[in-house]
Structure 1
């Protein structure tokens, strides 16, 4: 029997640093063109996500399903290749790998505690893997940095990934309000000119790690007190840990084995291609490991508050819990029945050609299906709905009442989404 999650299972974060992180999370000062924040794609009103299959990043306008692709020279050039990952419980001590493909993980291979896209250029001093991950969206062209020649951040990233971080840190620390907050919250900071990207990331990590900590769902109450779930959810729980074999991957206290599995989701969007990929595709973990055995494998998501984080899958191909459950039970059949209108993709005529181009590549489809690592499970419709009921029982009672929430204003004076 699983054990309930306890507060001590989470990393300790300084609340004053978390309050700085709250402001930075929603402050567009951290983006190249000052037009997008972390909160744009991970918003409180949308369960820490954006409600889209693939996000509309730098250059877009609006929020969530109403976000548009922008206009003129600012119009997006590419969709964000993967679904905005959920933020729930990322401060848990057991987490040692992040991103859908695991391209950030604890390791001393580069002498700085992490194996990351920045390799040996990643600075030291991060308070958690959660803080380390916060610096990467800032340097991603289509997420927050913008395009080369548009701003100094994008230009610096084009030279080398770490060249942008000092510029961003200076943007923040010269704002008097931020300077004062950092001096007050960090013992080793005596003046604002000492603030670096590490302190900024540690503040963001403190905010994310505390703001989205939540484990008071009916299922958590069941684990702690054996208070029965409602009948449908209880039947679903038994299926989840039994015949349906969901717990084969969604195991442990976080309901994720923190490993990588190929489940054959339909491909949409540009994919996270490698420089030498001949076609639009996303090979998942193999893109990081260069191991053929990792082809099309993606990190097992954690499931608490999963009902709040639609759409589902590493590329958001399924808009409902029922859809993603049915896919897990029979990936090949569900892939054949999947339709393009299930994807939540804001209209973008100038890049629409590649949205479903991989869906027409029979060889790529065959490669993806050959890699599927889960066996079909035959369940009737009632059992599927019971599984969905159990997944809904993973929603925290206080999930939509967060400690800090979205700020009304930020020290830069820029607009808040």
Structure 2
């Protein structure tokens, strides 16, 4: 049954008929060819919604490697109360299934008028019979079944998002850990810097089957994105602070680094167009001669683990090389178009 639910979840994830008007799928903002994050265009900080001219104000996070995020809440880490877990950049959804319910009804995303519209489309789709076999024929039986059917749709997406197809752990780095290949000299130098001088592993722990995130929240001091119209026009984005209060202002969820090389742009607002630019920012944000713009939110900026790392240009390039080794190699098969 899990395999069937996984297939149904994949079908829903790829279905462009589930928006209003039709044309946008979950995969439109989480393209499998780009690590299930964005559409791969470094100039597109915010992917537009089903209705032309509508867009949110954040860069899509990765749907892959999110399955390990715990339910959101405070935990004691190194004698400090730290907020951990949840989904979205601000952790407002408690689980993968909760997250999956939101875009369908969001007017700047898939723009469906209500849950019944989504259920009707899924039940009438070319995989509708499989949905009924996986979750029960009664779920497509009328208005009284809509709440349960909508929950089932979200569950199917969550099953797919936990699958090995979305989280294949098939990068060069994984094969290196398994003893199946040797990383290049440059990649190994980058790994050593990643785990040492550059302090990356403090929030993006490395290792076998690591998602390369600790699911905590941080304010990296990213400037406001003034290039993309949606982010330029948006009010100040306080991230977790808007959810929990000013003590968390400016903090956003630490993202996975898996597949980062194929999923530009970077940062919650898509400020960085290349990996080199991102790594250089981590290294030099607080170096006055670099003249980086001020953070969009000055509160809670992390000045202990980034900003003035003292990395050379070659060391930055080595880190980028290692990050490129985190790209999954297993191909994604779309049965609906291939």
TM-score (normalizing by structure 2): 0.81
Aligned twin of 1:199: 152
Aligned twin of 1:182: 131
CA contact (8 A) 1:179 1:191 kept: no
Q: 2-side partners of 1:406 and 1:82: how far apart?
A: 30
User: Cα 1:185–1:316, aligned 2, differ >3 Å: closer, same or farther?
Assistant: same
The answer to whether residue 228 in structure 2 is matched with residue 300 in structure 1 is no
Deviation at 1:271, TM superposition (A): 5.0
Deviation at 1:394, TM superposition (A): 1.1
CA contact (8 A) 1:88 1:214 kept: no
Q: 2-side partners of 1:385 and 1:137: how far apart?
A: 37
User: Cα 1:378–1:178, aligned 2, differ >3 Å: closer, same or farther?
Assistant: same
**Residue from 101, 118, 122 that aligns with 1:168:** 118
Structure 2, unmatched stretches of 5+, are 72-84
Deviation at 1:231, TM superposition (A): 0.7
The 5 A counterparts of 1:384-403 are 384-398=316-330, 401-402=331-332
The answer to whether residue 82 in structure 2 is matched with residue 76 in structure 1 is no
2:175 counterpart SS class: helix
Q: 1-side partners of 2:14 and 2:8: how far apart?
A: 10
Aligned length in residues? 306
The 5 A counterparts of 1:331-370 are 331-333=285-287, 337=291, 365=294, 368-370=297-299
Deviation at 1:179, TM superposition (A): 3.7
CA contact (8 A) 1:168 1:197 kept: yes
Q: For residues 313-352 of structure 1, what are the alpha-carbon distances to aligned partners after superposition, in whole Å with 9 as ceiling and x for unaligned?
A: 11111111111111111224599656xxxxxxxxxxxxxx
Deviating beyond 6 angstroms after TM superposition, the runs of 4 or more aligned structure 1 residues are none
Structure 1, unmatched stretches of 5+, are 1-12, 60-74, 106-128, 146-152, 155-163, 274-278, 339-358, 360-364, 410-417
The answer to whether residue 40 in structure 2 is matched with residue 86 in structure 1 is no
**Residue from 67, 80, 86 that aligns with 1:97:** 86
Q: 1-side partners of 2:153 and 2:92: how far apart?
A: 21
User: Cα 1:223–1:168, aligned 2, differ >3 Å: closer, same or farther?
Assistant: same
User: Cα 1:406–1:378, aligned 2, differ >3 Å: closer, same or farther?
Assistant: farther
The answer to whether residue 45 in structure 2 is matched with residue 53 in structure 1 is yes
- Cα RMSD of the aligned pairs, angstroms, is 2.8
User: Cα 1:87–1:45, aligned 2, differ >3 Å: closer, same or farther?
Assistant: same
